[in-house]
Amino acid sequence: MSAPPPFVTQLRASRAPIELAKPGAGVITLRVEASDIWDTVRVIARPETTVAELKQRVVERLFPNPHVDEFILKFRGWEVLDEHATLADAGLVDGSILLVAYRRRRAVR
């Protein structure tokens, strides 16, 4: 009997998943939420993928004209400081949920 799919694959996302690896054995599925625009994207990646690569692909997909350095990734409420670390080294597992947000607060217009 196989394990049920992770929670993140059951939630709706308006965009197609970002595939950093082909779906199959040895990959993890992550959910990345952008609080400023209330949007979500699923990411399929290998645990060896770097946090920097994940962040770049997500920011490019969710934000127009992105400057990747203006954004941070948070996991369990804390900023992921070492972007050169792998997803596994950062503690991300299948079904993890991350938040991508602007590094500095933006003025409300």
Task: List the domains of the chain with CATH numbers.
Answer: 7-102 (3.10.20.90)
**Residues β-bridged to residue 74:** 79, 99
pLDDT of residue 104: 80
SS3 108: coil
Q: Distance between CA 55 and CA 94 in Å, rounded?
A: 17
Confidence of residue 49 (pLDDT cuts 50, 70, 90): very high
- The encoded tokens of residue 10 equal 């059951």
Q: Are 54 and 45 in contact (CB under 8 A)?
A: yes
45 burial type by CB count under 10 A (0-12 exposed, 13-18 middle, 19+ buried) = buried
The pTM of this model reads 0.81
pLDDT value, residue 31? 93
Q: What is the predicted pLDDT for the residue at 14?
A: 65
Query: pLDDT tens across 55-92, in order?
Result: 999 999 998 888 899 999 999 999 999 999 999 999 99
46 has pLDDT over 70: yes
